[in-house]
Chains A and B, each alone.
Chain A
């Protein structure tokens, strides 16, 4: 047997032992996320700059659903055809061809449910973070919470629009409002209850903005220009409240909300476009996904539904402003025989902003509420603000509730074209889904989406 002769190597041994057996060799350090900050750092003791980042994050989440619902609800209401040839389901499923109906895994409906709720989650996260830090005082805190809740309410409305109560008005539940605890969310409320909750969130937010001082402790992007102080944010809040009120058919409520909003009955395009916007930009920001270069040689493009051209009044400036006639039409394999000539002409570039609520809608809400409360004179005046702006003759039809509602819905079709799918929602509000033309595509108009599988 050989003996170990260690002594001669003693120095070397000592050196090696120290070098190799450093303790993390046998007991590695805990790995923390090398790619991102962690939520727990922000949830308690957030700094002002961390809160600012969360607010900017909410602006981003607030923007995310817009394109998707404009395409999806816009297709339902035949404002547009989503001729994206890469996936036939943009036509076959969205238009309900071959008896397809929405199911729990319906194609491409995430922006009508998941995306708004992601923004709502972000809002709840801000509220939790701002309630668990000493970096802000009470006034500032109210500013954060009021802003977050205002945006949340807007997003709830997007989700609610997909989950209509149905014709029987005895709803089994539309959406959840209480989603603060991810593992234990609240119940599905009926459509009317959910809407009432959303309106009360808006009212809470309005109150909190009212006690938030004269300045926010955070800054917002240029999309909120004109609404970047607590008091101007209240005007935006009330505008959203007016939209919610007409969904609830609370006409007086709508009028009083409009009173406190940024409504202006001034005619002219500038006045119409007063409002709040989603902004876009080059990476790392996002381009405006609804922008398509004119005459682009592509089969992936959102196209204007031909009925928008056919039904337009002669000389309507909106047709000129919003629709661009291509040299070559767009065709799609699932729309046999259909040639689509008009594409969206609203955006100058892929960095142009996209409105999420503007004065033109407020004017039409005003007109609708006045009509419903039978103050027809005010209604006609408001309608004429719109007509004048777009170089149409003043309203000359009959002055009755029915005729004026017809007129208002018609004007809404053109004024609010492809801004989140108003036409589908409006037609449903007035039981006019059957007026939406389907002959061209052979499909059907859905009443609502199905509840996502994960909610079952």
Chain B
């Protein structure tokens, strides 16, 4: 037998281990009642989770802090946990049936459990990494986020989260600890929900082909994380860099986000119902310039017939009072949002369930845009005896987005914002009485007709399913062996329609009027893993050693099938491409990927004083050029809890931990980059093969990130003050870059390992709980983070990338520079950098400041401020509106030279791209909310005790923006999710402010 078959045998053994026998024992039960009290405020605590240790038996305290629970015969220890408080274990003495429990505040969250291995977790107190854990309260607890990634803005130190536009339904770029790849690997974190690898791609709809914008990156499609319902999420953990995420190996270079959905607990069945109603409106409208005869002369040329014609149009509109602020007309609407969530959870000792349904419907500020999502979830946990736990998580999602047409276009007029830039106030574009629209003399389409008659729709049907099995194979006094099997799938089916009817202005100007692209994608990802975990406690003279060993296997596959079918020259009203004069398979793409990994990890915990971990992962993937080669990703970490040593006697500081961690992860090449393809073309009825202009490098390796992290965690004054400080140094080697080969060779790009990128940064978090009284408490959290990126080594010639070329600002990849350096004309052919350097897309630092206050126990107020300092955008919106004469300040003359700003700026175009690069600093009031919990007395009298809890609230997202940026919002990206070209603006969908009323009822 050769070694190749060894893994097969291993698999057989895993299956054997799966088939364990078990038995359930009947046990006698006793009932315990009690009250949970906030030790400091001396008031009862509702909603505390009460569980019998090592079982799934659990309940929650009611509005008076009371609980009732059944104890099995052999277990008398109860575990009390509640967000913001230290978890307590209380052993109920024999014969006792009534207990009182006092819970202490826990600002630092040292009792939180954080996942550190594929099948193990560790108390935060013992953690060696800066892992951020976010609970439901911070995800969808106070505001109503549209998407999960959007809900995290400003809440994660070290993470840059940017919206690409204000279009409803998401579209968000998440970068953890700076830039992880320059475009070859995944620039976005790996999201894992209940063990399932989430497909977070942006599915091409062909929009940018119908409107002529260019490549699929300008489709303005949302990343598919938008499908997840934030209301169903219990918590998420963010492993920001390789030192924490190494155990996820080759897919973890950009970080890992582990999402856990809610689950039921034994006891009474609970019904939670929440209803949100809200309104969105434009955050920041810019205004439009007015017109005059002299301005028409300046633009159209004095004495020309064009100027005469425009003056006639202008005067007629002025006299008839038909001047229109089209910006206000198009972006000035208020959209309604509603969100309904119903959750039923409960169960018994053996089986617990959580079933939920959610309905979301959001309108955008542009008419006929919006996002709707319907979700159903069933989470079931079951104990087979006391040795085996099974769990199933099922989630069906339907989402439907109409994102409209904004951003870039070419030729077609297929962008509202782009068209707007050229449309003067005296243009007459209003709908006629017969329902038709006049053509737009100033651009290729009437934006009002575009909004009302064009379609850009994407529907996604999606099913996420995970199963897990956890079995105690051996359980002894000081050692245990368990098996952890986990598998899941993510099936996604997308249908998109992008349609311009034949009567459109630009369509009429073509030989085959009417254009539709119907897109279909089906995508199936599966993943599974099996691990054995051996736990052993060794008592020594110096205290106990706890050893946890785990080893296992993981497997991931992905199959994608995407097709875009196009029809042009359409019959009126027909969206089926078969009704077109020209029918075309516009694109058909298959993707097949399989990954295999082996993993092992050893943890050593000496009496909670020193906690060390080493681990390794061996990964291979069919995305690699060497598909059968395994790559090795090690990790190691050490945490030192100084406060647990005997010598620590400084009482005010209750916790003092020093920690360091090192880890390596990988970044895989993009699918297709390792294939040398012949592309098919058709000409004159013949099928041709053309040699791809992409060359291949047979020695291509995956990217490898090595991260070293140091930190200290401290908490003082009984947890009222907590400080977390982290420094990291993440070095990405073997960067896969498209080596720009001399174009004259006909091979223009070769993906090759060509450089090293270094990110260094600091993350600070300060939590304060200055006041905690019965009638007033205040919790505050301040985060600061900063990252520097630099390409420290580049083995290929420096190059520019992204944007629309040097004349309009582009990005420079060169040794010694940040990869997001912005350069542009004038060219400096004799210098090291061949263009003028203007800035950097990445901010100098970011800060956030969140506060929550509780008044009289039932009134909660909170807000979150987010400051991003520095960082530059390439803003091309004003470039267009200056040409169109519509920029709000076009007519003003700031430099007093007698020439209006608009013409001054247009004249600056020749000398260089300087005028397009703008500082993108901002301060945003991201979230603010106020909630009132109805007192239990009212619940008793008014609702006859049927309601356990009732809460009403009012919240706002994206409430205020302070920025000198000249356009709608400095958070913007016309190219969607991008590692490098992430800050280019072309007439985006303006950002909106959202105000929401909330009602939450618990039965």
**A: which residues have CB within 8 A of B?**
1-6, 9, 12-13, 16-17, 20-23, 25-40, 42, 50, 52-61, 63, 84-89, 92-93, 97-100, 103-107, 113-114, 117-118, 120-122, 124-125, 159, 175-176, 179, 181-183, 185, 219, 221-223, 279, 281-287, 291-293, 296-301, 329, 331, 333-334, 336-339, 349-350, 450, 452-456
Asked, given contacts A34-B590, A85-B443, A92-B909, whether A60 binds B741 with beta carbons under 8 Å apart, the answer is: no
Query: A443 — nearest CB in chain B belongs to which residue?
Result: B910
Asked, given contacts A17-B12, A297-B505, whether A454 binds B799 with beta carbons under 8 Å apart, the answer is: yes
CB atoms of B742 and A454 under 8 A apart: yes
Q: List 23 A-B contacts (CB under 8 A).
A: A1-B475, A12-B19, A36-B675, A38-B675, A57-B678, A59-B688, A85-B422, A85-B443, A103-B829, A104-B827, A113-B743, A117-B743, A182-B695, A182-B750, A283-B583, A284-B682, A297-B508, A300-B410, A300-B411, A300-B509, A336-B300, A337-B307, A456-B797
Q: How many A-B residue pairs have CB under 8 A?
A: 332
CB atoms of B676 and A299 under 8 A apart: no
Of B141-149, B637-645, B802-810, B851-859, the stretch lying at the interface with chain A is B802-810
CB atoms of B883 and A334 under 8 A apart: yes
CB atoms of B685 and A4 under 8 A apart: no
Contacts of A103 in B (CB 8 A): 806, 825-827, 829, 835
Query: A224 — nearest CB in chain B belongs to which residue?
Result: B684
CB atoms of A350 and B511 under 8 A apart: yes
CB atoms of B509 and A39 under 8 A apart: no
CB atoms of A25 and B555 under 8 A apart: yes
CB atoms of B684 and A333 under 8 A apart: no
Contacts of A297 in B (CB 8 A): 439, 505, 508-509
**Residues of B406-450 contacting chain A, CB below 8 A:** 409-412, 418, 422, 439, 443-444
CB atoms of B686 and A28 under 8 A apart: no
Which of A118, A122, A182, A286 interacts with B741 by CB under 8 Å? Answer: A182
CB atoms of B799 and A35 under 8 A apart: no
CB atoms of B677 and A38 under 8 A apart: yes
**Residues of B505-553 contacting chain A, CB below 8 A:** 505-506, 508-512, 553
A410 to B741, CA, bound (A): 41
Asked, given contacts A6-B16, A21-B11, A38-B676, whether A293 binds B744 with beta carbons under 8 Å apart, the answer is: no
Contacts of A285 in B (CB 8 A): 682-685
Which of B387, B594, B688 interacts with A53 by CB under 8 Å? Answer: B688
Asked, given contacts A26-B7, A453-B800, whether A21 binds B747 with beta carbons under 8 Å apart, the answer is: no
Query: A292 — nearest CB in chain B belongs to which residue?
Result: B509
What 3 A-B pairs are tightest by C-beta distance, nearest first? Answer: A121-B746, A98-B910, A337-B301
CB atoms of A23 and B301 under 8 A apart: no
Give 1 or 0 for each of B798-824: 1 = CB within 8 Å of chain A CB: 011000111110100000000000000
A28 to B23, CA, bound (A): 38
Contacts of B834 in A (CB 8 A): 104, 453, 456
CB atoms of A105 and B688 under 8 A apart: no
CB atoms of A293 and B509 under 8 A apart: yes
A442 to B930, CA, bound (A): 61
CB atoms of A100 and B807 under 8 A apart: yes
CB atoms of A33 and B672 under 8 A apart: yes
Asked, given contacts A13-B16, A35-B672, A56-B687, whether A117 binds B741 with beta carbons under 8 Å apart, the answer is: no
A390 to B746, CA, bound (A): 41
CB atoms of A2 and B8 under 8 A apart: no
Question: Does B679 reach chain A (CB closer than 8 Å)?
Answer: yes
CB atoms of A293 and B510 under 8 A apart: yes
Query: A121 — nearest CB in chain B belongs to which residue?
Result: B746
A296 to B300, CA, bound (A): 22
CB atoms of B744 and A21 under 8 A apart: no
CB atoms of A88 and B883 under 8 A apart: yes
A107 to B805, CA, bound (A): 7
Query: B559 — nearest CB in chain A belongs to which residue?
Result: A34
Contacts of B683 in A (CB 8 A): 56, 59-60, 63, 221, 279, 281, 285-286
A5 to B19, CA, bound (A): 9
Contacts of B740 in A (CB 8 A): 453-454
Give 1 or 0 for each of B2-24: 1 = CB within 8 Å of chain A CB: 00110111111001101111110
Contacts of A223 in B (CB 8 A): 684
Contacts of A97 in B (CB 8 A): 910
Give 1 or 0 for each of B587-606: 1 = CB within 8 Å of chain A CB: 01111111010000000000
Contacts of B411 in A (CB 8 A): 84, 86, 298, 300
A301 to B879, CA, bound (A): 21
CB atoms of A40 and B883 under 8 A apart: no
Q: In the assembled complex, how far is the CB of residue A242 from the closest CB belonging to chain B, in whole angstroms?
A: 25
Contacts of B592 in A (CB 8 A): 31, 34
Contacts of A85 in B (CB 8 A): 422, 443-444
A125 to B422, CA, bound (A): 47
Known: A35-B590, A58-B690. 18 other contacts (CB 8 A): A2-B20, A4-B20, A16-B19, A34-B590, A38-B675, A56-B688, A60-B682, A86-B212, A103-B826, A124-B746, A182-B746, A221-B686, A283-B566, A283-B583, A331-B306, A337-B306, A338-B301, A452-B743
Count of B interface residues, CB-CB < 8 Å: 120
CB atoms of A39 and B677 under 8 A apart: yes
**B: which residues have CB within 8 A of A?**
4-5, 7-12, 15-16, 18-23, 212, 299-307, 387, 409-412, 418, 422, 439, 443-444, 474-476, 505-506, 508-512, 553, 555, 557, 566, 581-585, 588-594, 596, 622, 627-628, 672, 675-693, 695, 740-748, 750, 797, 799-800, 804-808, 810, 825-827, 829, 834-835, 879-880, 883-884, 907, 909-911
CB atoms of A98 and B476 under 8 A apart: no
Query: B593 — nearest CB in chain A belongs to which residue?
Result: A31
A103 to B827, CA, bound (A): 7
Which of A23, A50, A453 interacts with B8 by CB under 8 Å? Answer: A23
A55 to B16, CA, bound (A): 59
Contacts of B680 in A (CB 8 A): 36
A106 to B808, CA, bound (A): 11
CB atoms of A20 and B509 under 8 A apart: no
Contacts of A22 in B (CB 8 A): 8
Contacts of B909 in A (CB 8 A): 88, 92, 98, 100
Asked, given contacts A33-B675, A107-B805, A334-B883, whether A57 binds B15 with beta carbons under 8 Å apart, the answer is: no
CB atoms of B797 and A175 under 8 A apart: no
Which of A105, A121, A450 interacts with B745 by CB under 8 Å? Answer: A121
CB atoms of B511 and A300 under 8 A apart: no
Contacts of B553 in A (CB 8 A): 26
Contacts of B808 in A (CB 8 A): 89
Which of B11, B15, B512 interacts with A13 by CB under 8 Å? Answer: B15
Query: B409 — nearest CB in chain A belongs to which residue?
Result: A86
Q: In the assembled complex, how far is the CB of residue A374 from the closest CB belonging to chain B, in whole angstroms?
A: 39
CB atoms of A39 and B676 under 8 A apart: yes
Which of B10, B299, B745, B879 interacts with A117 by CB under 8 Å? Answer: B745
A241 to B187, CA, bound (A): 51
Query: B592 — nearest CB in chain A belongs to which residue?
Result: A31
Query: B628 — nearest CB in chain A belongs to which residue?
Result: A30
Q: In the assembled complex, how far is the CB of residue B216 from the closest CB belonging to chain A, in whole angstroms?
A: 15
A291 to B509, CA, bound (A): 11
Q: In the assembled complex, how far is the CB of residue B100 from the closest CB belonging to chain A, in whole angstroms?
A: 39
A21 to B236, CA, bound (A): 33
CB atoms of A60 and B582 under 8 A apart: no
Which of B21, B304, B581, B744 interacts with A113 by CB under 8 Å? Answer: B744
Query: B586 — nearest CB in chain A belongs to which residue?
Result: A283
CB atoms of A337 and B584 under 8 A apart: no
Which of B444, B678, B684 interacts with A59 by CB under 8 Å? Answer: B684
CB atoms of A122 and B8 under 8 A apart: no
Max chain A Cβ within 10 angstroms of own Cβ: one of B409, B412, B511: B511
CB atoms of B691 and A39 under 8 A apart: yes
CB atoms of A56 and B409 under 8 A apart: no
CB atoms of B304 and A339 under 8 A apart: yes
CB atoms of B8 and A283 under 8 A apart: no
A106 to B581, CA, bound (A): 37
Q: In the assembled complex, how far is the CB of residue A125 from the closest CB belonging to chain B, in whole angstroms?
A: 5
Contacts of A454 in B (CB 8 A): 740-743, 748, 797, 799
A302 to B200, CA, bound (A): 41
